[in-house]
Chains A and B, each alone.
Chain A
Amino acid sequence: MFRWFNSDKGSAVERFVQRDALKPIELLPWILAIAAYYVFPSYLPLGSQILLTILFAISLDLALGYAGIITLGHAAFFGAGAYAAGLYALHVTGEPLSGLVVAGLAGGILGFLSGLVILRTSGLTLIMLTLAVLLLVQEFANRARPITGGADGLSGISMKPIFGQFRFDLFGHTAYWYCLIVLFFVWLFALLLVRSPFGRALTGVRENVTRMHAIGAPVRRRLVTVYTISAVLAGIAGGLLAQTSQFVGLATLGFERSGEIVIMLVLGGIGRIYGAFVGVVIFMIAQDTFAKADPAFWSFWVGLMLVLIVLFARGGALGVVDQALRWVRKVRR
C-alpha cells in the first residue's frame, strides 16, 4: 500500500479508512449502563428516564449538531410520540414494540410536514417557526380534551409484556433494559447515519451552506430528511416515556423540555453523538440532586453554566476533554 509518510500509528490512508471503525472506548457507555443496573438498583426509574432522554438528545444532535438546524421546538416530536404511544396503548393494544413504531411514525409525520414548510427559512425566523410548531401542537393537546385529556393528560395506560415474555414491573427492571436496548439500536443507527455520505453532506450544510448549494447538493431535501429522521427518533423517545411511566401529560410538549434537551446536548458537546450521553447523565443526575431542594438555585447554575460554556468551552464537556488530551500530548512531545 502506498504510504504518505512513516509513523508508528500507521499511514494517513490507513487512518482515513479506519477513522470510522468502532474504538474500544465507544463501548464504555454500555458497560457503565449495565454496571449501573447492578450498582444502583433503587435508581432504576431515574435510569430509564436518563436512557430515553439520551435517545432524545441523540435525535436532537442529528438535527442541531450535524445539520445545524437550531430548534427550540424539538419537544413537539417527543410529545407527539408520547401521545401516540399512549393513545395506541389505550385504544388499540398495549403491545409495546408496535407502540414504539406508532410513536416513531407520529413524530416522523409531524417532523416531515413541519420540516417541509419551515426549513425554507433560516436564522431567527427558523427558530421562531420551530417554536410556533411546538406551541401549536401544545395548544392542540391542551384544547382537544376528549382525545388527549387536556391538562389532566392520559392516564390508565397499561402495557402488555414485551414479546409476551417480559412484564413491566413495579421497580423498573424491565423498563430499564427495554430503554437500554432501544437506545443501543438507535445509537448504532445514528453512528451509521452520521458516518455515511449523507451524514457528511449534513456537516457540509452546517459548515457552509452556500458552497453546498454551489456544488449542486440538494440542501433542502437533505435538511428535510434529517429533520424527519430526527423527529422519528424523538417520537420513539417520547413513546418510551409514555410506556415506561404509563402516563402522558402536557409537560411532554413543554417548552422546558425543548430548552432543557438543547442545554443537555450543549453541555455534553454537540455534533459528536457521545455528547448526548455525557450531557444528559451529568445534567439529570445534578438535577435530581439539586433541583428538588431549591429550584431557583438550580436554574441560576444552569444559566451560569450556559454562559460559561458559550464564553469559554464551546465544545461542551467532551470538547474540554479533547482539548485536555491534545494539551497532554503536546506536553509529552
Chain B
Amino acid sequence: MDAFFAAVVSILFHGLAYAMILYVISVGLSVTMGLMGFVNLAHGVFAMLGGYVMTTLMNRYGMPFGWALLSAFVAVALVSVVLERTLYSRLYRAGELEQVLFSIGIVFMAVAFVRYAWGPLPQRMVVPELLRGSFDIWSRSFPTYRTFLIVVSFAVIAALWLGIERTNFGAQIRAAVDNRRMAESLGINTGRLFTLTFALGSGLAAFGGGIGADILAINPQYAQDYLIYFLMVVAVGGLGSIRGPFVAALLLGIGDTACRYLVPEFGAFFLFASMMGILLWRPTGLFGKA
C-alpha cells in the first residue's frame, strides 16, 4: 500500500512538473493559432532557442540563473517579432498547406543553425547551488529544482491568466480571438495585437524551454522531437483557449509520466491512442470553439 502511494505521489509530482513546462511553452501557440489561424509547426524553435540562450549565458558567461532566464525571454521575444513582421505576416491569408510547409522550413533551418552554432550534443544545464538536492515532506523526498519549477511556473501562469482576464490588453486579445472582424471594427489594431501576442507567446516558450532544460534536454533535435507534444497540448486543449491547454498539459504530463512508469513496454502507445480518441470525440479540442 505504501509503495502504491509512493508511486502515485511520484507520478503526480513529476507529471505536474512536466505539465507545467508543456503548458508554459505551448500556451503562446494556442493563442496565436486561435488569433490568426496560423498553423505554426515552428513554435518549438522558440523554446529551443530559449534553452540555448539560457544555458550559453550561464555556462559560458557565468550569468546567474534568473538573469539568464530573463534574457532568454527577451532575446527570443525580439527574434520572434522580427520573424513575425518579415515572414509570418505574409502568410496569414495563405492556405494551411503553405503555413505548414513554411513553418517546417523554419524548423529545418533552425535545427541546422543550432547544430552549427552549438554542436550536436545536448547542452549542460547547471542548476544553481541553492536549488540542488532535495528536501523531505512526510518522509518523502522531492527534488528541490522541480518543486521550484512548479512554483515558478504556477506564478507565471497566474500572472498570465490575471493579465488576460483583467487588463485592457488581455480583453483585446480575447475579443480578437472570439471575433477578429468585430474587434477590428471596434478599432482594435489586430495586426499590432498579434505581433505583441506572438512575441509574448514566443518569450514564454523560451522561458519554458529554459527553465525546463533539465526535463526536456536542449539539443538540436528539440524543435522536431517535442513538436508533437506541443501540438498535442494545443489541439487537445482547443485553439485560442488559455485554460484548455492547461487541462491538456496536465493530462499529457501526468498521463505520459504514468505510462512511462507503469507500462514502459508500451511506450507512448496509450498517449497517442487517447489523443486520437479525444480529437475524434471533440475535433476542436476540449475547450475549443465549435
Contact status B91-A310, CB under 8 Å: yes
Residue of B nearest to A65 (CB): B97
B268 nearest CB across to chain A (Å): 6
Q: What CA separation (Å) do A68 and B279 show in the bound complex?
A: 20
Contact status A303-B268, CB under 8 Å: no
Q: What CA separation (Å) do A259 and B107 show in the bound complex?
A: 12
Residue of A nearest to B37 (CB): A123
A30 interface residue per 8 A CB criterion: no
| CB contact under 8 A between A297 and B279, given known A306-B101, A307-B87 | no
Q: What CA separation (Å) do A302 and B101 show in the bound complex?
A: 11
Q: What CA separation (Å) do A270 and B101 show in the bound complex?
A: 13
Tell me which of B107, B224, B280 contacts A118 (CB under 8 A).
B280
Q: What CA separation (Å) do A298 and B116 show in the bound complex?
A: 12
Tell me which of A124, A142, A309 contacts B267 (CB under 8 A).
A142
Q: What CA separation (Å) do A293 and B117 show in the bound complex?
A: 18
Q: What CA separation (Å) do A70 and B98 show in the bound complex?
A: 10
Tell me which of B97, B108, B220, B283 contacts A303 (CB under 8 A).
B108
Q: What CA separation (Å) do A309 and B231 show in the bound complex?
A: 24
Binds A, one of B7-15, B138-146, B269-277: B269-277
B64 interface residue per 8 A CB criterion: no
B24 interface residue per 8 A CB criterion: no
Could you mark each residue 69-106 of chain A with 1 if its beta carbon is under 8 Å from any beta carbon of chain B, else 0?
01010000000000000000000000000000000000
Q: What CA separation (Å) do A297 and B113 show in the bound complex?
A: 9
Q: What CA separation (Å) do A68 and B231 show in the bound complex?
A: 21
The prevalent SS among residues of A at the interface is helix
A54 nearest CB across to chain B (Å): 20
Contact status A124-B272, CB under 8 Å: no
Q: What CA separation (Å) do A266 and B108 show in the bound complex?
A: 15
Could you mark each residue 96-112 of chain B with 1 if its beta carbon is under 8 Å from any beta carbon of chain A, else 0?
11101110111111111
A-B contacts counted at CB < 8 A amount to 122
Residue of A nearest to B99 (CB): A310
B239 interface residue per 8 A CB criterion: yes
Binds B, one of A35-43, A132-140, A241-249: A132-140
Size of the B side of the interface (Cβ < 8 Å), in residues, is 46
Residue of A nearest to B276 (CB): A132
Residue of B nearest to A300 (CB): B112
Contact status A306-B102, CB under 8 Å: yes
Q: Looking at B115, B235, B273, which has the most chain A CB atoms within 10 Å of its CB? A: B235
Contact status B231-A128, CB under 8 Å: yes
Could you mark each residue 218-243 of chain B with 1 if its beta carbon is under 8 Å from any beta carbon of chain A, else 0?
00100010001001101100010000
The interface residues of chain A lying within 8 Å CB-to-CB of B87 are: 307, 311
A6 interface residue per 8 A CB criterion: no
Contact status B39-A124, CB under 8 Å: yes
Q: What CA separation (Å) do A229 and B182 show in the bound complex?
A: 43
A62 interface residue per 8 A CB criterion: no
Contact status B101-A266, CB under 8 Å: yes
Residue of A nearest to B90 (CB): A311
Q: Looking at A118, A128, A259, which has the most chain B CB atoms within 10 Å of its CB? A: A128
Tell me which of B105, B109, B268, B272 contacts A310 (CB under 8 A).
B105
B147 interface residue per 8 A CB criterion: no
The interface residues of chain A lying within 8 Å CB-to-CB of B239 are: 124
Contact status B101-A123, CB under 8 Å: no
B4 interface residue per 8 A CB criterion: no
Tell me which of A136, A266, A297 contacts B273 (CB under 8 A).
A136
B158 nearest CB across to chain A (Å): 28
Contact status B116-A304, CB under 8 Å: no
The interface residues of chain A lying within 8 Å CB-to-CB of B91 are: 310-311
Q: What CA separation (Å) do A139 and B264 show in the bound complex?
A: 12
Residue of A nearest to B234 (CB): A124
A296 nearest CB across to chain B (Å): 4
Tell me which of B105, B235, B265, B272 contacts A304 (CB under 8 A).
B105
The interface residues of chain A lying within 8 Å CB-to-CB of B232 are: 128
Residue of A nearest to B113 (CB): A300
Q: What CA separation (Å) do A128 and B280 show in the bound complex?
A: 11
Contact status B112-A297, CB under 8 Å: yes
A305 interface residue per 8 A CB criterion: yes
A: residues with CB less than 8 A from B are: 64, 68, 70, 72, 117-118, 120-121, 123-125, 127-129, 131-133, 135-136, 139-140, 142-143, 255, 259, 262-263, 266, 270, 296-300, 302-307, 309-311, 314
Taking A304-B109, A310-B101 as given, write out 17 further A-B residue pairs in contact, using a Cβ cutoff of 8 Å, ordered by the A residue number: A70-B97, A120-B283, A124-B33, A127-B96, A128-B232, A131-B228, A135-B272, A136-B276, A139-B267, A255-B224, A266-B101, A299-B111, A300-B112, A303-B111, A306-B102, A307-B87, A310-B91
**26 A-B residue pairings within 8 Å (CB atoms):** A64-B97, A70-B97, A118-B276, A121-B283, A125-B279, A125-B285, A128-B235, A132-B275, A132-B276, A135-B228, A135-B268, A136-B273, A139-B269, A143-B265, A255-B224, A262-B101, A263-B101, A296-B111, A296-B112, A299-B112, A303-B110, A303-B111, A306-B102, A307-B109, A310-B102, A311-B90
User: Which 6 A-B pairs have CB atoms at the shortest separation, nearest pair first?
Assistant: A303-B108, A306-B105, A300-B112, A303-B109, A307-B105, A296-B115
